[in-house]
Structure 1
Amino acid sequence: MEKEIYLGLKKVFDQSLEAALITVISVLGSTPRKSGAKMLVFPDGTAIGTIGGGCGEAEARREAFSVIDSYTPIRHSLNMTADIAQEEGMVCGGVMELFIDYLGPQSDREQINLRKDYLSALENNRNPLLVTVIEATAEGLLGRKLFIKNNGDIFGDLGLEKLNRAAIDSAKISLGRSQPLLISLDSEFKQCETSVTKAAFRLLIEPPATVVELLILGAGHIAVPLAAMAKMVGYEVTVVDDRPSFANSARFSTCDTIICDDFERAIEAITINPQTYIVIITRGHRHDKICLRKVIDQPAAYIGMIGSRKRVKAIKADLEEEGVSSESLEKLYSPIGLKIGAETPEEIAVSILSQLINVQKRTIES
């Protein structure tokens, strides 16, 4: 979950506010955001996050206001096909299916407490999988939730024991994935293809983070092609460097976030989760060591650091003397990248990105 959405939800529940949470549950064609994108809409029209802007987002806001007024969650299909896009001046075409959930004092008290527990599990790095009923023939089940922590503990109730069991079994499929999963069930609570059988229930299973993030520490010559290629394959890219002449939008025009600040201070302000991939390619031994010390015990999917074996060995030895465990340092990928004989910055970037993709795919398959 994006940090701004998490903080917005915390505000909603801590202050007993009303809001509607819009979640993109599936997409077809060219759309501005992908499955898992969220936007929080308040009764006064303010919002946190985005599902892409334009007239499509305006329509989603209108539906969100209706949800707030009725206290009732809905599913909504947002059609942004090419003829509509041209008429409204939109760049994208396609269809986004949305689930719009009511949040507020009119919610069931049990479900309010469950949401608070879910946010707490996120905060404490318990990596919970969240299951939401987004379609149901039985009355009163729409929007009900349960979540599963990474230790297997289960919290919540979808309203039917057989539905709970089916949800828990289906959730196992989502382990290690970074994208939401839609599950359709027939009246016997068995998975079905909606093209063949009309679903009696549909479940949305969301991992703790639906965006795969690449954090590049160091904005030198390798970072430029690495950031550009990583965006092409779908990573949300953040670049950090303490030099304004390097960490700027002119060099990194496609990046999502560019941070020009002291490395240690910048890392402290960044939320690192199991969908974060970290590449340490700063300009020298001292900065590499600072960065590695700050991230090595974080729950990142990948931590890689450039440098010769001798240099990396020296940094690891220094950190062990400072109290960093050898077990933590064992998860460091270094020398970084796959062995493809890379020499130029662009070739090295390819080798690093190849390793990131390889690690990501192995995580999903396992």
Structure 2
Amino acid sequence: MRDVLAQLTRLLDHGQEALLCQVVETKGSTPQKAGALMLVDPSGGQVGTLGGGCVENEVKQKALRRLGQSGADRHTFVLDHDYAWADGLICGGKMVILAEAFRGPEAAAYFLAYRNLLDAGLGLVEAVAIDPERCGADVIGARWLFGPDAELVASLPNREPPGAVANLVEPIDRRPRLASTRGVATLPVLPRIRLVVVGAGHVGQAVAKLAAEADFDVTIVDDRAQYANPERFPMADQILVGPMDEVLPALETTPHTYALIVTRGHGHDQEALFHLAPTTAAYVGLIGSKRKIRLIFDGLREQGVAEEHLARVTAPIGMPIGSQTVPEIAISVVAQLIARRNLGPEAVTTNPFARVESEDAPEAVGS
């Protein structure tokens, strides 16, 4: 999405038209969900995707025919048509896609506001008119941009949202869902998550790579410059090198921070967890076997770490997919992080090791 908006604002700033195609409603199984964006420039270049195949190509060709025209077109695709067979898109679902050619300073101001909100990382909601008569909008494709507290930030065209639209928008802290109702699509973008990976070894490197591709902002922490460096972690937004008892207490955490402990030894794991368990980070995960985790938790209790802080630690980490290799472990861990981000705390099982006494505890994904 950030790539699409960057190119969109660049075209508008240079006085060019920008053809934006956006999935605004889906039902059933589809290759992309509401909110997916594809930008087409006047020469036919493309950024973003609507899922590929004939649907994407057909929308692209129709969008190009809108050059120089005003207003948006609504396209509906049911993915059991003959054209879908060749692409393997016999999903049985339905996609509604809006296509519009944007131009001029008003559009540039709107999408710059969108880009700024996205870069701030605190979340936003865009409302898009699909059926103007039902939602009270002037035109199909009218857009309203709301900040994390559901405050109106921008609109295109420059109009106040009808009551039917404003009443559908919720603050981001209520975790609003993608929805299409009463003629308007509400498209939330949840806050960006900063993932702090403590440990720059093989697992940390594999997790960081996948997490960055999944749109996490990655911070690497390690006391070894030969491991924690831009050559090994080109995807990292920040690399912090130094003793954990200096780096971690100074680390700023918020409810939009996840912390993952995958260091090279039990002592380092325990030290990292000592500093991270009491923080405001929404997710703190520790890799390791049941025995290792039990020993670390017992040691932290002796150090005075409160039970309530230990109880919120996720250990072992990762989805139960039978991971053995480093890439498999990374996949299982990042899958859990995505579930936690998209579905909320209920997506992560309760920590079974806060008071574990038995060797029968489930195995971790790695150590």
Both proteins in one fold, TM over 0.5: yes
Q: Which residue of 2 aligns with 1:323?
A: none
Cα 1:311–1:125, aligned 2, differ >3 Å: closer, same or farther?
A: same
Q: d(CA) in 2 for partners of 1:160 and 1:17?
A: 20
Out of 343, 347, 362, the residue aligned to residue 361 of structure 1 is 343
Any conservation in 1 of the 2:256–2:282 contact (CA below 8 Å)?
A: no
- Give the count of matched residue pairs: 301
Residue 153 of structure 2 is matched in structure 1 by 155
Deviations 1:47-66 (A, max 9, x none): 11121222221100122123
Structure 2 equivalent of residue 121 of structure 1: 117
CA contact (8 A) 2:127 2:143 kept: yes
CA distance in 1, matches of 2:250, 2:62: 43
d(CA) in 1 for partners of 2:246 and 2:11?
36
- Within-5 A mapping of 1:1-366: 2-81=1-80, 83-86=82-85, 89-94=86-91, 95-105=94-104, 110-137=106-133, 140-156=138-154, 163-172=161-170, 175=173, 177=175, 180-184=178-182, 202-208=183-189, 220=202, 236=214, 262-263=231-232, 265-268=234-237, 300=256, 302-306=258-262, 310-312=267-269, 314-315=271-272, 331=282, 333-335=284-286, 338-339=314-315, 345-346=323-324, 357=339, 360-362=342-344
| Gap runs ≥5 in structure 2 | 221-228, 288-312, 348-367
CA 1:125–1:31: 2 relative to 1, 3 Å: closer
Q: CA deviation at 1:96?
A: 1.9
Residues 132 and 204, structure 1, Cα contact 8 Å, conserved in 2: yes
Q: RMSD value over aligned CA atoms?
A: 5.1
Asked if the contact 1:211/1:236 (under 8 Å) is kept, the reply is no
Structure 1 alignment gaps of length 5 or more: 185-201, 243-259, 271-284, 320-325
Closer/same/farther in 2, CA of residues 205 and 227 from structure 1, 3 Å limit: same
Query: Is the 1:111–1:145 contact (alpha carbons within 8 Å) kept by the matching residues of 2?
Result: no
Give SS of 1:172's match. coil
**SS of alignment partner, residue 8 of structure 2:** helix
Give the letter for the 1:203 counterpart: V
Secondary structure of the equivalent of 1:118? helix
Is contact 1:35-1:179 (8 Å) kept? no
What do the CA deviations read for 1:284-331 (whole angstroms, capped 9, x no partner)? x97999998999658845332235774245347899xxxxxx986755
Structure-2 separation of matches of 1:304 and 1:141: 47
Q: What TM-score, normalized by structure 2, do the two folds share?
A: 0.61
User: Which range moves more in the overlay, 70-79 or 334-343?
Assistant: 334-343
Paired residues of 1:176 and 1:364 also in contact (CA < 8 A)? no
- Alpha-carbon distance between aligned partners in 2 of 1:118 and 1:362, rounded to the nearest angstrom: 24
Distance 2:338 2:196 in 1: 12
Query: Looking at CA atoms only, which structure, 1 or 2, has the larger radius of gyration?
Result: 2
User: Would you say the 8 A contact 1:133–1:204 is kept in 2?
Assistant: yes
Structure 2 residue aligned with 1:198: none
What is the percent sequence identity of the aligned residues? 18
Q: 1:74 to 1:139 in 2, by over 3 A?
A: same
Aligned residues of 1:73 and 1:143 also touching (Cα < 8 A): yes
Give the TM-score of the pair, scaled to structure 1.
0.61
Q: Hey, what's the Cα distance between the residues in 2 that align with 1:50 and 1:13?
A: 20
Q: Is the 8 Å Cα contact of residues 178 and 211 (structure 1) preserved in structure 2?
A: no
1:8 Cα deviation after fit: 1.1
Q: 2:142 corresponds to which letter in structure 1?
A: R
**CA offsets, 1:208-228, max 9 Å, x none?**
359999998868469989999
SS at 2:65 equivalent: helix
Deviation, 1:41, is 0.8
CA–CA distance in structure 1, aligned partners of residues 124 and 215 of structure 2? 24
Query: Cα deviations across residues 15-67 of structure 1 (Å, max 9, x unaligned)?
Result: 22201111112334443322221100112111111212222211001221233
CA contact (8 A) 1:263 1:287 kept: no
SS in 2 for 1:71: coil
More divergent stretch after superposition (157-166 vs 34-43)? 157-166
Spell out, residue by residue over 1:65-105, the C-alpha distance to the aligned partner (whole angstroms, 9 max, x if none).
2333322112111343253223xx21212432101132112
Distance 1:364 1:116 in 2: 35
In the alignment, residue 189 of structure 2 is paired with which amino acid? P
C-alpha distance in 1 between matches for 2:204 and 2:122: 34
What is the distance in 2 between the residues matched to 1:52 and 1:104?
Answer: 25
Structure 1 residues 294 and 85, CA, compared in 2 at 3 Å: closer, same or farther?
farther
> For residue 44 of structure 1, what is the amino acid of its counterpart?
S
